[in-house]
Every structure is written in C-alpha cells, then in structure tokens.
A and B are shown apart, each in its own frame.
Chain A
Amino acid sequence: MPTQSVSVADVTTMAQLARLDVPEEHKEQLARQFGDILAYMDVLSSIDTSTVEPLYSPVLHKAAPRPDIAVNTRQREAMLHNSPAQNSEYFTVPRIV
C-alpha cells in the first residue's frame, strides 16, 4: 500500500511552517525525496503488529525524574547576552502586535 506521493504544494506548506526559504527549483527534488522516505516507512507499516505490546520508546528504560528542588543556575545577564537582541531586563524581538 504505497503512501500518496508528496506534492510541490506540500513542500511549500512545510517550508512555510518551518519558516524555511526553499528555492522553487529545489522543491521538486525535495518532494521526490520526502516521497521516498515515506515509501520506506510503508515497509514497516506492512507488518501486522496488532498482537504486539506497543513500544513506547526505542530505549527500554524509563525517564529518571528529577527531584523538585528549585535552583537558579544562571545569571540573567548571561542568559540575555546569548540572544540576538536584549535590553538590561528583557529579550527583545521585532514588534509582534
């Protein structure tokens, strides 16, 4: 059961959602490659797993939870200076509304 192929329009939508500027001339190639990846996944889908216990993660152990202890590990100044734009208190971004 082949997956429906990926169109150039799908690539455009995905590029918009990911905020990526994909040149027109690359879209066809990307659509074909996405389609190939999905087709490969179809190989997995063809196996009947209805009687198999779900695998929650490929890693077999569970998350090691962290005890709820509050610790400030970073200075504000250090955090702010890792960003492209800031003032003394806030990260700043181009006006949103």
Chain B
Amino acid sequence: MADYEAVIGLEVHVQLATASKLFCSCPNHFGSAPNSNVCEVCAGMPGALPRVNAQAVHYATLVGLATHCEINQNSVFARKNYFYPDLPSGYQISQLDLPLCEHGYLDVMVEGQSRHIGITRIHMENDAGKNIHAQHENVSYVDLNRAGTPLVEIVSEPDMRSGAEAVAYLKALHSIVTYLGVSDGNMEEGNFRCDANVSIHKKGEALGTRAELKNLNSFRNVQRAIEIEIERQKDILEDGGQVVQETRLYDAVKNTTASMRGKEEAHDYRYFPDPDLLPVGISDEQMAAWRAELPELPASRLARFTAMTGLPEADAEVLVSSRAMADFFEEAASHAEARKVANIMIGALQRALNARGCTVADTQFSPAALAELVNIVENGLISATIANDIVPDLLESGAMPEAYVKEKGLVQISDTGELEGIVDGIIAANPAEVEAFRGGKTKLMGFFVGQVMRATKGKGNPAAINSLLAQKLQ
C-alpha cells in the first residue's frame, strides 16, 4: 500500500445570534410557525431593498478578530446567482472579492501536537430557507423563516491531514464563536454547519482531486465521514481508478458517503457586486472599540486553568468547554482550592450535567455553592464521597451544601466516641476476619473500613475510622 497523505479543508457556516435577519427586521428565530417571520425583503420580492444589520457586522468582525484575521474596513456584498426554491430572489447575498476578514489562523492541539491551521477568509452572507418534501405528494413546501438569517462562512486553508485534526479545528472554532456569544452553536438546529473538502495524494506528488462532503451535522460525523472518504479514495487509487470531483452526502446510519447525483452540473455563480447594497464601512474608532471588547478566549483560559490546578490539559478541557463553565470555575476557584473545585466539576458535576442533558447555566447550582461544598469537605464536615453523591441534588434544588447536609443528616461522624462503639461492634461480629488480619492478612483493613462505612451510611470520617481500626486490631 502506497503512502498516501490526506489534504482537508473545511467550510464552516455559523448562524449569528442577532435579534433580526441580515437585511430586514424579521425576527431571526428558530422554531417559529412556518413562514411567520417573512417580509418582502427576505421573500425576495422585486424592488424590496436590503439594509445591512449593524449587529451582524459587529459579530462577524469579532469572529475575524478572534481568529487572527485582517479585517477589511471596506467590504463589499456580491450576488451569487443560482436557482433553488429555498432561495426566493434567485441569488444569495454573499461576499467575494472583498470579504470582511482574510488571512487568519488557529493553532490547535491534536494528540499532544500543536497544528497551525490557516483561515483563508471569513465572509458574511444570508442563509437560505428550508424545503420540505412530503412523501407521495407532487409538491415540495417552502418555509422562508430561515431565509435571510445572518451567516458567516469561515473558509480554512487545506491545512488538515486527518479527521482528528479537522475535528480539533472545528471544536476550537465552535468554542470561539460560543465564547464570543455571537452564535448559539447548536449543530442539531443548524447554527453551526460544516462541509469538508477531502483529497489524497502520494507524498511528494501533486495534489489529488477533491470531493466535497456535506451533511456533517455533529463533530463525530465530521471525523467519521472524513475517515471513510479517505479510505474510499485510497481504494479507488489502489485499483488504478481516478477520483471524480463531486459533492458527496454523508449517511451517518450507514457510515458511507454517496454522490449527490443531479447536482453535478458545473457551478457558475456569475458573482457580481450587489447594486442594492453599498460597501460596508467600519471606522477606526469602531474597530478599536470592538477589539477592546474581545473576551479572553478558550485557548488562553485553558493555559491559565492548567497552571492554577496542575491538571493535564486533556482533563482541564472540560472547564473551558463553554464560557459559562469557565466563568463558573473561575468564580468558585476564587473561594476554594482550585484543584478541588476542578475535580468536582470534571467528575460529579459533568456527569450530572450529561445525565440531564443541560449546561451549568441551566441549573440552580451556583459557584458559591460549589466553593462551599469543597470547603466543607476540607474542614471535615462531610466526606469527599458524600460531596460527589449530593451534586445531582444540589443541581436540582439549588440548596447550599452546608445547610443541605445538616438537614439530610449527612454530616460526617468524626466523634471518636461514637465511632469507637461502631468499630468495637464490627470487630466483635467478625472474629474470623480479625484472626486472619492479626495473622498477617493486612489487606483485610479494607474490609473493616468498608463495614464501618456501611454501618455509618458513609458518614464516618475515613481518617478517624482508619486510626481507630489500626489501634484496635493490633
């Protein structure tokens, strides 16, 4: 088998979380009744004039700044012409010659290695509507609520070499747009969509013909689709065939890609500057203000959090997975030991959030409560086990941990008098084990600790139990 190298570039479409659409005041809202957010502009009626949304320009610029792009303070909208029923005007308003942002990059970590991924351009454009195809009917239905939603398209250089690298880049981009608060980033709702261009070639030889993959609606699917496509192209070349330039649709159920027949006619979009729209100008003052507004981004926060906690990067990534999570950690860690705060967040809290399918922002749990939880373990009021066990309840109720454990009777038994009685009882009830222990089977210590813990319903102070047992079993 020859030594092939894959070349991957991604085109990512991000819906901007503005209140209104890109060129009209219709609400930009997912899930409204069909065609309820439609006017003459987004329905493409002749003579209706578009006006650009100031907030969309602002958000798109923030994305460019956060990805180290040069910002064109004069950018121009162009018409991309094609016919499809979800595009009522017959053209998409996009940018070609003078996009808002160019020449950026992201550095991402892949399997412990840093990779530099170039960003060719980021431009603004409007989204299309949605076609709905009913079975056994001779019509298709068109919902234009999405038509006119502001998008940025982020086009990478073909700098990725594997599915894993593509996903690492995509996740970095996703966390940036959600940190900036410019997109909800919900992949199922189509806020964050990705197409992948994939080709392979033998090392040292010219680049191969590329296929464009569509319908990659989760991080996992992006990786799987790219990997399966690389294998498909290898098989073709190994059999002496040639890869055809085409668009292929990923089928997540079958884990295959299939050619999108019927869409193969060569695209000729006949771009030209949109005569309805003047250039978008951004003043120097505006640029300075937007630059100053950039929050600390995930990569920099991750570096700081690993230093604060001493945790490996792979573990600390949970802490920066969203801006809400990172803010939560930062706040809690200012009132309790950072490492211990991190451990609960990465373990019990993350599990509880996954089980509920929600984020920390959706719960009643506060950073102050987490800090208090860490501190009452620290001062011996409860054990670490109990602390982890009660996290789901705290999430649900919003109770403060100290009051909660006192009310539920979960306070740790550190009183040696009370523990001594229990330890004596366990020793008396297990004479065979006591004899074996004294005969040298010191591993049985675990058994005794377990018995005492069971008798105290997990509330015994482990240090006190260990020392009492050691003393009594001698």
A positions within 8 Å CB-CB of B: 13, 17, 19, 56-57, 59, 61-74, 76, 79-80, 82, 85, 87, 89-97
Instruction: Provide the bound-state CA to CA distance between A95 and B278, in Å.
Output: 37
Contact status B57-A65, CB under 8 Å: yes
Pick 16 A–B contacts, CB within 8 A, sort by A: A17-B268, A57-B273, A63-B51, A63-B52, A68-B53, A70-B29, A79-B40, A79-B43, A79-B144, A89-B35, A90-B34, A91-B35, A91-B142, A94-B139, A94-B140, A95-B133
Beta-carbon contacts under 8 Å, B334-355 to A = none
Q: Given A68-B53, A95-B133, A63–B277 Cβ distance below 8 Å?
A: yes
Contact B133 A69 (CB under 8 A): no
Q: How far is the CB of B133 from chain A (nearest CB, A)?
A: 5
Q: Is B61 an interface residue (CB 8 A)?
A: no
- B446 to chain A minimum Cβ distance, whole angstroms, is 63
Contact count A vs B, C-beta below 8 Å: 128
B137 near A95 (CB under 8 angstroms)?
yes
Interface residues of B in 15-57 (CB under 8 A from A): 18-20, 25-29, 33-40, 43, 45, 51-57
Q: Taking the complex as formed, is B321 at the interface, i.e. its CB lies under 8 A from any CB of chain A?
A: no
| Residues from chain A with Cβ under 8 Å of B83 in the complex | 19
Q: A57-B273, A63-B51, A79-B144 are in contact. List 12 more A-B contacts (CB 8 A).
A: A56-B279, A59-B278, A65-B53, A66-B53, A68-B53, A71-B26, A72-B36, A76-B36, A79-B38, A91-B144, A92-B142, A93-B141
Complex A-B, nearest 4 residue pairs according to Cβ-Cβ distance, in ascending order: A62-B281, A68-B55, A65-B54, A90-B141
| Binary contact readout B48-82 vs A (1 if CB under 8 angstroms, 0 otherwise) | 00011111110000000000000000101000010
Residues of chain B contacted by A69 (CB below 8 angstroms): 19-20, 25
- How far does the Cβ of A49 sit from chain B's closest Cβ, in whole Å? 15
A56 to B28 Cα, complex, angstroms:
29
Q: Does B292 contact A (CB under 8 A)?
A: no
Chain A residues closer than 8 Å to B43, beta-carbon distance:
79, 82
Instruction: Verify if B227 is at the interface (C-beta below 8 Å from A).
Output: no
Contact A82 B45 (CB under 8 A): yes
B288 at the interface (CB under 8 A from A): no
How far apart are the CA atoms of A73 and B53 in the complex, in Å? 16
User: Does B98 count as interface, using CB distance less than 8 angstroms?
Assistant: yes
B138–A57 CB distance below 8 A: no
Q: Does B132 contact A (CB under 8 A)?
A: yes
Are the CB atoms of A57 and B279 closer together than 8 Å? yes
Interface residues of B (CB under 8 A from A): 18-20, 25-29, 33-40, 43, 45, 51-57, 74, 76, 81, 83-85, 98, 131-133, 137-144, 268, 270, 273, 277-281
**The residue from B25, B51, B57, B140 contacting A96, defined by CB atoms under 8 A apart:** B140
Pairwise interchain contact B37-A66, C-beta atoms closer than 8 A: no
- Decide if A66 touches B51 in the complex (CB within 8 Å): yes
CB within 8 A of A68: which of B18, B40, B133? B18
Q: Interface of chain A, helix or strand or loop or mixed?
A: loop
In whole Å, how far is B401's beta carbon from the nearest beta carbon of chain A?
A: 41
Bound-complex Cα distance A59 to B277 (A)? 10
Query: Are A90 and B132 touching (Cβ within 8 A)?
Result: yes
User: In the complex, are the beta carbons of A97 and B140 less than 8 A apart?
Assistant: yes
Interchain CB contact under 8 A, A96 and B268: no
A93 to B277 alpha-carbon distance, docked (Å): 29
Query: What chain B residues lie within 8 Å of A56 (beta carbons)?
Result: 74, 76, 98, 279
**Known A-B contacts A63-B281, A65-B52; A93 and B25 likewise in contact (beta carbons under 8 Å):** no
Partner of B52, one of A66, A70, A80, A95: A66
**B35 and A90 contacting across the interface, CB-CB below 8 Å:** yes
Report how far A82 CA is from B41 CA in the complex, Å: 13
Residues of A within 8 A of B131 (CB): 93, 96
When distances are taken between beta carbons in the complex, the residues of chain A under 8 Å from B36 are 72, 76
A73's partner among B25, B81, B273 (CB-CB below 8 A) is B25
Question: Residue on B with the closest CB to A61?
Answer: B278
A94 to B83, alpha carbons, bound, how many Å? Answer: 13
CA distance A82 to B81 in the complex (A): 23
Query: Which one of B39, B56, B142 contacts A90 once the chains associate, using CB atoms below 8 Å?
Result: B142
Beta-carbon contact of A76 and B35 below 8 Å: yes
Alpha-carbon separation in the docked complex, A17 to B133 (Å): 24
- Give min CB distance, A15 to chain B, whole Å: 12
- Return A20 CB to nearest CB of chain B, in Å: 11
Please state if A70 and B27 are interface contacts (CB–CB under 8 Å): yes
Which residues of the partner chain B approach A62 to less than 8 Å between Cβ atoms? 278-281
A contact residues around B277 at 8 Å (CB): 63
* Chain B residues within an 8 Å CB radius of A97: 133, 140
Least Cβ–Cβ distance between A24 and chain B, in angstroms? 21
Distance of A65 Cα from B132 Cα, bound (Å): 33
Question: A63 to chain B: which residues have CB within 8 Å?
Answer: 51-52, 277-281
Report if A96-B33 is in contact (Cβ < 8 Å); known contacts: A68-B56, A69-B19, A79-B43.
no
Q: Which chain B residue has the least Cβ–Cβ distance from A13?
A: B268
Nearest residue, chain B, Cβ from A59: B278
State the Cβ distance, B347 to closest chain A Cβ, in Å. Answer: 41
* Chain A residues, CB < 8 A from B45: 82
Chain B: which residue is nearest A80 at the CB level? B35
Known contacts: A90-B34, A93-B85. The answer to whether A71 contacts B25 by CB under 8 A is: yes
- In the complex, the answer to whether A17 meets B270 with C-beta atoms within 8 Å is yes
